[in-house]
Amino acid sequence: MSDPSPAAGPPSSEAARVVDLRTLAHLIRLSNQSGTLLLMLPTLWSLVLAARGRPAWSLVAIFVAGSFLMRSAGVILNDLADRAYDRQVVRTRSRPLASGAFGVPEAWLTAMALMTAAAALLIFLNQLTILLSPVAFLLAAVYPYSKRIVAIPQAVLGAAFGWGAVMAWAAARNSLDGPAWLLYAGTVCWAVAYDTIYALQDRDDDARIGIKSSAILFGRWTWLAVGLSLGGMMVCLVLSGWMTGLGPMFYAALVAIGGFLSLQVWRLRNHVPPELAFAMFKQHVWVGVAVLAGIWAGFR
């Protein structure tokens, strides 16, 4: 007796599109926007500080959209550069490029499309910000390869993330003043700290396959390096607040933030399993939100 059920055939185009969209979402880490927020928050610090608590909503929208687009493009560029290494690490071997679920040419096209969309936002900004923008694109392209050369690639990441704060200040004031550069330096210090914590997840694998990392460089002194980096961040924030005349609420917020960060540094003195390292890394999103709230409150 013949089987009345239809023969299995190739997946429909609609099903293929769903699979591709899911793979694309995985590629750009759509379900985990911690990186986008860590890129975006220093730009918001800068906008609020430069505008004395009243940033233009159009600029906020532009930098929020730009942060999402640039971070999405950045993780694709990172995965393109690291796909051979990612196959050797348990945590990353399932990434679409490492696993072969997403093609390399398609990934390049997607990254270029995202960066083009980010560049298109520049038409709404002033000439100074446009002149600063090539540095942002250059740093985004350089960072994925810095892990092969630089002992602390986290500093390169910080340079890339911090440049958004410089551009935001230029967009708000059409000038580059001391507080903008202090926010930039503070963001670099912050990124070294939180990305070193993030790198603890892969320290053994990175050492085995030859990837450079501050978590490897600092070794058992990681807690001290993170503490010094966070201390540098706090000094930069205090100085930027002082230069712009922020009120007591800002410094009260920094005291609370400093207490929380001290607890993190103390925890790093002991072994930190990968799950805890990732959780501690994600807590820095709330640190950034608290800094933003403190800057805003400082003008009240």
Q: Would you list the domain boundaries of the chain?
A: 33-298
Which residue has tokens 């010094």?
Answer: 228
Q: Residue 1: is its pLDDT beyond 90?
A: no
Residues 124-173: tens digit of each pLDDT:
999 999 999 999 999 999 999 998 899 999 999 999 999 999 999 999 99
pLDDT band at 6 (very low <50, low <70, confident <90, very high): very low
pLDDT for position 258: 97
- Say if residues 263 and 13 touch (Cβ distance below 8 Å): no
- What CATH number was assigned to the domain covering residues 33-298? 1.10.357.140
Question: How far apart are alpha carbons 96 and 80 in whole angstroms?
Answer: 10
Mean pLDDT of 102-112: 94
pLDDT for position 18: 53
Q: Residue 3: is its pLDDT beyond 60?
A: no
* Chain Cα centroid distance, residue 157: 8
Q: Residue 15: is its pLDDT beyond 50?
A: no
Distances (CA, A) of 26 to 15, 21, 215, 232: 17, 9, 26, 34
Q: Residue 5: is its pLDDT beyond 70?
A: no
- Say if residues 260 and 287 touch (Cβ distance below 8 Å): yes
Q: Residue 177: is its pLDDT beyond 90?
A: yes
Residues 18-66: tens digit of each pLDDT:
558 899 999 999 999 999 999 999 999 999 999 999 999 999 999 999 9
Instruction: Kindly report the number of other CB atoms within 10 A of residue 248's CB atom.
Output: 9
Average pLDDT, the chain: 92
- Say if residues 126 and 174 touch (Cβ distance below 8 Å): yes
Where do runs of H (alpha helix) occur along the chain? 13-27, 34-50, 57-86, 96-99, 104-120, 127-146, 153-173, 178-199, 203-209, 214-218, 222-243, 248-267, 274-298
Residues 216-247: tens digit of each pLDDT:
999 999 999 999 999 999 999 999 999 999 99
pLDDT band at 190 (very low <50, low <70, confident <90, very high): very high
Question: How far apart are alpha carbons 195 and 206 in whole angstroms?
Answer: 14
Q: Residue 192: is its pLDDT beyond 90?
A: yes
Q: Residue 283: is its pLDDT beyond 80?
A: yes
pLDDT for position 207: 87
Question: How far apart are alpha carbons 189 and 252 in whole angstroms?
Answer: 21
> What DSSP string describes 114-164?
HHHHHHHGGGGS-HHHHHHHHHHHHHHHHHHHHTTT-S-HHHHHHHHHHHH
pTM for the predicted model, two decimal places: 0.90
pLDDT band at 208 (very low <50, low <70, confident <90, very high): confident
pLDDT for position 204: 87
Residues 76-85: tens digit of each pLDDT:
999 999 998 8
Distances (CA, A) of 241 to 65, 107, 143: 26, 41, 30
Q: Residue 281: is its pLDDT beyond 50?
A: yes
Cβ-proximal residues to 72 (8 Å cutoff; 6+ apart), any chain: 28, 29, 36, 114
Instruction: Kindly report the number of other CB atoms within 10 A of residue 150's CB atom.
Output: 17
Q: Residue 10: is its pLDDT beyond 70?
A: no
Cβ-proximal residues to 299 (8 Å cutoff; 6+ apart), any chain: 48, 52, 53, 54, 246, 247
